[in-house]
Homo-oligomer: A and B are copies of this chain.
Amino acid sequence: MSTISSISPSQLHGSVKPDNSEAISALQTRFGKQLSTNTTIREQHGHTMTWLANQPPDAVLTVQDKHEVAAAVEICNQYQMPVIAFGIGSSLEGQLNAPYGGLCIDMHAMDAILQVNNEDLTVTVQPGVTREQLNHYLRDTGLFFPIDPGANASIGGMVATRASGTNAVRYGTMKDVVLALEVVTASGDIVRTGTRAKKSAAGYDLTRLMIGSEGTLGIVTEVTLKLFGISECIGSGICHFPTIEDACQAVMLTIQMCLPIARIELLDAMQIKACNQYANLDLTETPTLFVEFHGTEASVAEQAQIFTDIIEEFGGTDFAWDTNEAERKRLWQARHNAYHASSALRPEASALSTDACVPISRLAECVSATAKDIEASGMIGPIVGHVGDGNFHVLLLVDTDNPEEVATANGIISRLASRAIEMDGTCTGEHGIGQGKQKYMQQEHGNALVLMQAIKSALDPKNILNPGKIWPETLTTT
């Protein structure tokens, strides 16, 4: 690429000063007690839920509004100090680590729900609002916010990582439900992207560019989201299959028939075994689908009937479903417990979650090959999948003090990422790149990386916004 300059890591990081003390002084003068350099607090704002080494920031600033964010970023820009936004710390790939030090801006106090528009099914929130807080607030409106990545993540963090989760098969991911953003740029300006109109053809889609950029292009200070009506009827159920292939084939046909299924989750036999042990259940220990239908009473019943017909083709059995809330919760209990049940299989180990996403026609092959790889390694790694999207997770139980185990786990994760990319999929469907998956960016994106980096360089020329994330350590662009 002759006209688009390729950026080397040294250029990207070259402007970051090793000593940030001048910047910290300037921030202390401006923010006083809102700024903390306490070691414990700094470490709490480092790696969070990952096995990557903790790299704490130099200081943590708790902000109250967008003007404070803008003022802080302006100081960081002036002193060329890294700045990282922090929601609740539930990211999984080291997105919050501070490899070059710098300032962590903790957004948790920016948790106001600014405006609900019942007529338009939209809501505008500050980034520190969590998804559970939002749905609790909406409880009397008949509306809900569907994106559910498992953790009670902050909306700002969910924007940053392009979060999705169990409802994505019907309601989409953050890419689909964010209408507009307010963002503080690298220079400390406050910019608005998008409007409350449902669609627009007016210029570049900055909203989608910011979503999933992991804080490397701007810091989100306001989010306008689409909401959805809570269905008059919800039906949930589970069913069992002889093999993973059978379960995946059933999922594929469900999607092909355009059944408007709200959730369709796969738990493999090991995961079911873990759930049985954890909660004293007696589920058949074979690959199992957990499903949920949203609609009117008649449409839920019709969807359940069509689904019954589908699973019968692939040896699916014992399909139990119900619209009663207590019974629905009982049926889905194993899915809700999946993480803790898996962890309990080896309580002394760390539970490392990785994800990948492939075209649904390759799902059975990808899940099966991954399960075999895990089995061959001797490691414990149950598989849970948002299979309606071709997205699945492996939870590896690893003694992180044992270098051999860590190497084995890394091998499984690497092979899974490559396998997914070779199947025309992606190395991560919803966890993001952070630090953990940088090494797969080249294989997945090839020379498109040069475009991404040209954009990064244009919007953040001093590389102060979450530096050391997304990009691989060594770039070889073709």
Chain A residues with CB under 8 Å of chain B are: 1-4, 77, 117-122, 161-164, 168, 173, 175-176, 185-187, 189, 191-193, 195-206, 208-209, 211-213, 217, 228-229, 231, 252, 255-258, 260, 296, 298-299, 302, 357-361, 389-391, 420-421, 424-433, 437, 440-441, 444-452, 454-462, 470
Residue of B nearest to A164 (CB): B199
Q: Which residue of B lies closest to A360 (CB)?
A: B120
A426-B202, A458-B455 as given contacts; A448 in contact with B119, CB under 8 Å: no
Q: How far is the CB of A69 from chain B (nearest CB, A)?
A: 16
Bound form: Cα–Cα A197–B252 in Å: 13
The residue in chain B whose Cβ has the minimal distance to the Cβ of A260 is B260
CB of A13 to closest CB in B, whole Å: 17
Report the nearest B residue to A299, measured CB to CB: B299
The contact sample of 13 A-B pairs, CB cut-off 8 A, is A3-B186, A3-B187, A3-B461, A4-B186, A120-B359, A122-B359, A197-B359, A199-B429, A202-B433, A205-B209, A208-B208, A209-B209, A299-B302
Task: Please name all residues of chain B whose beta carbon is closer than 8 Å to the beta carbon of A252 when the two chains form the complex.
Answer: 119
Q: With A201-B431, A257-B229 given, is the CB distance from A448 to B162 under 8 Å?
A: no
A428, B201: Cα distance in complex, Å: 6
Contact B444 A360 (CB under 8 A): no
> Is the Cβ of B440 less than 8 Å from the Cβ of A202?
yes
Within the complex, which residue of B199, B258, B448 is in contact with A206, where a contact is CB–CB below 8 Å? B448
CB distance from A36 to the nearest CB of B (A): 27
CB A313 to nearest CB in B, in angstroms, measures 15
Q: A209-B209, A359-B117 are in contact. Are A199 and B424 (CB under 8 A)?
A: no
Report the Cα distance A258→B142, complex, angstroms. Answer: 11
A455 touches B447 (CB 8 A): no
Choice from B189, B204, B429 contacting A452 with Cβ under 8 Å: B204
Interface contacts beyond A117-B359, A119-B360, A185-B451: sample of 15 additional A-B pairs, CB < 8 Å, sorted by A: A3-B186, A118-B256, A120-B361, A175-B199, A192-B446, A195-B424, A195-B425, A197-B389, A204-B212, A204-B452, A208-B209, A209-B209, A209-B455, A298-B298, A299-B302
A361 CB to nearest chain B CB (Å): 4
Residues of B within 8 A of A430 (CB): 199, 201
**Contact partner, A202, options B2, B204, B389, B444, Cβ 8 Å:** B444
Q: Which residue on B lies nearest to A169, using beta carbons?
A: B198
- Rounded to whole angstroms, the CA-CA distance of A252 and B185 in the bound complex is 36
> Cα distance A176–B146 when bound, in Å?
17
- In the complex, what residues of B have CB within 8 A of residue A3's CB? 77, 186-187, 460-462
Q: Contacts A122-B359, A454-B458 given: A229-B256 contact, CB under 8 Å?
A: yes
A455→B204 contact, CB < 8 A = yes
Residue of B nearest to A198 (CB): B389
B-chain residues with CB within 8 Å of residue A77 when the two chains form the complex: 2-3
Chain B residues, Cβ within 8 Å of A389: 197-199
CA of A440 to CA of B201 in the docked complex: distance in angstroms?
12
CA–CA, A72 and B448, complex, Å: 20
> Are A117 and B191 closer than 8 Å at their CB atoms?
no
Kindly report which residue of chain B lies nearest to residue A449, judged by CB atoms.
Answer: B203
Cβ contacts under 8 Å, A459 to chain B: 4, 451, 454-455
Separation of A440 and B195 alpha carbons in the complex (Å):
14
Q: Closest B-chain residue to A2, C-beta based?
A: B187
Q: Is the CB of A203 within 8 A of B470?
A: yes
Q: In the complex, what residues of B have CB within 8 A of residue A217's CB?
A: 204
On chain B, the residues within 8 Å of A452 by CB distance are: 203-204, 206
Which of B202, B228, B360 contacts A428 (CB under 8 A)?
B202
A192 to B231, CA, bound (A): 39
CB neighbours (8 Å) of A4 from chain B are 185-187, 458-459, 461
> Which residues of chain B have C-beta atoms less than 8 A from A119's C-beta?
252, 256, 359-361
Contact A199 B187 (CB under 8 A): no
Give A211 to B208 CA distance when docked, in angstroms: 11
Say whether, besides A199-B173, A425-B197, A448-B193, A213 and B204 are in contact (CB < 8 Å). yes
